[in-house]
A and B are shown apart, each in its own frame.
Chain A
Amino acid sequence: MAGRIVRRLSLVLVLATAPVWADVSKPRITPPQPSWSQLNPEQKRILAPLAEEWNGMEHHRRQKWLDIARRYPQLSPEEQARMQRRMRSWHAMPPEDKEKVRSQYREFKQLPPEKKQAVKAQWERYDQLPEEEKLRLKQKSEAKSAPSERILPARP
């Protein structure tokens, strides 16, 4: 009897920890998430930009988007539209890039309001630049021997 319990227990442990060895950046245990056809009409309306990708998505991504969809009704109409416009490109971004953006955004959110406002104003000005000027700046950035890959200066 004892042998049987030990065998069962080790099987449970192996199955439960298998994803840990596979990829540490992903959550190890995610409950199964609904397919597109199982979503309710409200969720489908909010997540419409992801309709095509949904069924091919890993469960932890689906869970994250469902969590985002729950926050959606509290947004202003303008924010809702902006969120939906950005959903596809955000989902399509490679995970490593997303991680970089997230870590920089965490730092950005901690800046004092006037600094945040300054970065936003700079972005607006940059966004209005002619394409040739943007290209020049891009080439300048890439020509540097050791590109920092950061928008914000590293904190001490």
Chain B
Amino acid sequence: MNETPLIASLRRHLDEGAAQLPQATLERLYQARQHALAAHRRQQAHRAPARQAWLRPALATLTLAAGIGLTAMYLHDQEELSAIAALDAALLVDDLPPRAFTDPGFRAWLEESSEG
């Protein structure tokens, strides 16, 4: 033991004080200490497994679900972009130019020729 003289004297003083306590008080203190320790053990037994037994797998599942969801979203978007690129590429080289589809005059022309 590497006690400084001050700590040693404090200890001696407290021990002497404790030894002078009545037996009934010592008994009560002992029981209170046992009671607190038991409560602490109960708390530990309840809490720790609760946190680790179901919260962790739940979080892992949630993370996995979010990961799968984001990946699916990304792949879907990529597929859509590629389909649009293919369609635009076809539109850009077709004999019928894109403006044919927006030209109101051409619309009327088609109607007239189908009527006549």
A56-86 residues with Cβ-Cβ distance < 8 A to B are: 60, 63-65, 67-68, 71, 75, 79, 82-83, 86
Q: Which residue of B lies closest to A140 (CB)?
A: B108
One of A68, A82, A137 near B88 (C-beta < 8 A): A68
By a CB distance below 8 angstroms, the chain A residues around B82 are: 67
Task: Answer whether A151 and B81 are a contact pair too, CB < 8 Å, given A86-B97, A90-B88, A137-B112.
Answer: no
Task: Answer whether A29 and B77 are a contact pair too, CB < 8 Å, given A2-B55, A86-B98, A141-B107.
Answer: yes
Name the prevailing secondary structure of the B interface residues.
helix
Does the CB pair B66–A2 fall under 8 Å?
A: no
- The reply on B26 being an interface residue by CB < 8 A is no
Count of interface residues, chain A, beta-carbon cutoff 8 Å: 54
Does the CB pair A101–B102 fall under 8 Å?
A: yes
Q: Could you give, for residues 65-86 of chain B, a 1 whenever the CB lies within 8 Å of some chain A CB and a 0 otherwise?
A: 0100010011001101110111
By a CB distance below 8 angstroms, the chain B residues around A122 are: 106, 109-110, 113
A-B contact count (CB 8 A): 135
Does the CB pair B98–A93 fall under 8 Å?
A: yes
Going nearest first, the 8 A-B pairs with the smallest beta carbon separation are A67-B85, A27-B77, A141-B104, A138-B105, A141-B108, A137-B105, A137-B108, A79-B93
**26 sampled A-B residue pairs with Cβ under 8 A:** A5-B63, A9-B62, A9-B63, A28-B73, A67-B85, A68-B88, A68-B89, A68-B92, A79-B93, A82-B93, A86-B92, A87-B92, A89-B98, A90-B91, A100-B101, A101-B101, A101-B102, A102-B88, A105-B87, A105-B101, A108-B101, A137-B105, A138-B103, A138-B104, A141-B111, A147-B107
A interface residues with partner B (beta carbon < 8 Å): 2, 5-6, 9, 12-13, 16, 27-30, 60, 63-65, 67-68, 71, 75, 79, 82-83, 86-87, 89-90, 93, 97, 100-102, 104-106, 108-109, 119-120, 122-123, 125-126, 129, 134-135, 137-138, 140-142, 147-148, 150-151
